[in-house]
Structure 1
Amino acid sequence: MSADNRFALMPALRQARAVLGLSPAVLATLEAMLTCLPKTGSAHVVFASNETLIRRRNGVSDRTIRRHVAHLAAIGLLRRCDSPNGKRYSRRNPLTGEMLRFGFDLSPLFGRADEIRRMAAAETARQEACDVLRLRIRTVLSAVPEEQRMDLLRRLRRRLSLEELEDILAPLRSLEPDTNTMPTPPDHPATELVTSDGMTATDSQSVRHCQRSNQETRKDSPSELRPDQIGAACRFALSFSATDISGWPQLCDHADRLASMMGIDGDSLRQAKARCGPRSVAKTLMLIAEMKSRVKTAPAYFRSVTTGMRAGDFDPDRLIARRLRAGAA
């Protein structure tokens, strides 16, 4: 990997940092080292002094830098090349062209690039699996006694591992509706979404915001989609309903239950309905639930697209219509 791409690994490192044994502070020191590499060429040795790294880390102590360097070396992301006097520099033999480099060699980091990306992908999948388990647990909370429900809610506030969530769900499986454990349909369409800058992406990559060609109101309009069309476009979200949905009252009630499962509070829901209308909010909630694993924080995303800064650009009817067209193709 060339130095031009010196920061290309940072997103994967952030995602896989827990697996690699990297604390946020150590990761910040590693990023500071990457800023010291030349912008061009393929050099991987950092010659910066501790004083330089301290400045780029906003004034952490020299002892902290040394501790972080030792940790990076111990986990195999850095190799120390120490000079006799402890300075960091390079020296070239003009006769042979041989180059001696003394500093922090980040070649091990770049050599493990593919491995780190695989670790990041696995960690992403694991986090998405945790989100699904949390959602399944929340679907049965109304069926458990009050005392047990409060205990479960307290436990769900913590950061739980996949194994811990599976242990919580195990005794509750008998309370789940059969439709809750259905796999995502194999013909689940990857819908093209339009971003605010005119670019497109599939919803398998991320949830983007649909740019609207005009600023028409989002209050429920006569030409809106039917409930059966929404259900056809959002099959996974619909699978959490224990009863058939035949009209708007049932769909809106189901969307309200989805909001509770996703941690969206009643005040946010009321404000959104007052601004956008209950049907528009129901469609938005169905879309968020359908793509839950791609929305990092459902409550914050919901507020953003209904009453926040992105409300003017988010059009649930248009997104659902695109999903329907993709499914019919």
Structure 2
Amino acid sequence: MQTHIATTPFGRRPMTLGLISSQVTARNIDQGAKVSKWQVFRDIRDAKEVLGATDRALSILDALLTFHRGEELSGEGNLVVFPSNEQLIRRANGMSPATLRRHLANLVISGLIIRRDSPNGKRFARKGQGGAIEQAYGFDLSPILARAAEFRELAEAVAAERKAFRVVKERLTICRRDVSKMIDAGINESVPGNWRGFQRRYEAIIARLPRTAPRQVLEVLADELEDLWADVHQTLESFVKSQDSSANESHTERHIQNSNSDFNPTGETEYGLGKKEEPSGTAEHTDNVRSLPRRDLPLGMVLSACPDILPYAEGGQIRTWRDLAAAADRARPSMGISPSAWQEAAEVMGPQHAAIALAAILQRAEHIRSRGGYLRDLVERARQQKFSVWPMITALLNARMGALEKAAASGVAGGTQGGQVAETRAGASSLEISSALRDSMKKKGW
């Protein structure tokens, strides 16, 4: 005959709502439920931090499972084990009685076992006829069977979290290495860029990295490092592309002999066969930069040489240098020039000369494959005081005047109609430069 099932602990141990919750869960077990006790134990071991179980408590749970004879926990069988403290200490590798009691309490609080205490607190089983156990007092393993699916889900979640933590640590380590070495490369190779600012950003991110941090904190820092990596990598990549573009353009320009009809921003040309030396923008060769006019370019002269900038002006008119700079800033995105390259050009050349250079590049955009790289190359030359906007604008003016003169001559020779001749003359008059400046340009060979 089975007696009343104990629901409260023996002695001075209090009854808690947590114990009642564990008992309610243990009663909701299907009669046909079966699980491998060692598989569930592995899931519990993987999820021990979430469950609040200690390492020593799991050692005791392992020992308790050994007292259950079957390999499976079944809803149809008896799940109460009743070893003495001496037997548990022996199978738990000899821990002290006080340690045993403390970690048994941890298993109860974690909801992994339930105490089924006898009236005097002893653990034993009463057998009936045929040797079957009618009543057992000890530790009930029913919560392990009842929560087996929960333990499996917790173990999978812990494994996924552990993997995500490992991945974010790898991201963080790789980004730290890449950013640090790319900044060193940019500084050592004298690549134009805000390397001091990049270094300060890197140090500020690393200073917020604690010795031990949760995954969420590491992901935030890794994202910031990846943003910094993108900026540093773009700076290096743009410089490399500009170098390749400059090399390709230099190779192509070797076949061009007439500097009056081709864009030559620095004034550098090859020597023609039997012709006089052309002006050069490289100071160490002809000192042309120092021989250029000291006064600023007239705005009308710039607009005559670069009319393609006018559609980007507000209202289609440019009256001041500020209007030209605003139009250049609007034209920049369509040319593929990054904000950093435009800002660097304004800082090195000055806003006025940077706007002139961009307008000139726009005028010859179809002949320049990498406009951003070209502008960075001009900025580097300006930083070395080897660049002036005068040869750039005069080359464009010469090209326009030559084209208009050829059109007028071909129109007269071919007997063009009066309207076409008038149109050609109107185009020639749109070049707002004085006759004195035109004569000076011819004398200097521009």
TM-score scaled by length of structure 2: 0.35
Report the TM-score when normalising by structure 1.
0.47
Higher helix share: 2
Larger Rg: 2
